[in-house]
Amino acid sequence: MVYSPRELEPLLKLSKNTINALLRSGRLRSVRVGRHYLIPKEALMAFLSGSGD
C-alpha cells in the first residue's frame, strides 16, 4: 500500500508544504514516479515511530 502526499495531509494533520519539505529532506522516505511522490506504508510507519528508516 502506498500513499500520496495529499492523502497524508489529513492523516498527519500537516500542511502540503510541510509534507513536501519532509519528502525533499528525506525524513519521510518515498518513491518518485515521474513528478509524483508515493510514500510506502512502511515508510510512513517508520516516520511515525521516529526511526526514520
For 4-29, how does the pLDDT look when each residue is reduced to its tens digit (9 = 90+)?
999 999 999 999 999 999 999 999 99
List the end-to-end C-alpha distance of the chain, in Å, as a whole number.
Answer: 17
Cα–Cα distances in Å, from 12 out to 4, 33, 47, 50? 12, 22, 11, 14
DSSP bridge partners of 11: none
Model pTM score? 0.82
Return the percentage of the chain with pLDDT > 70, whole number. 94
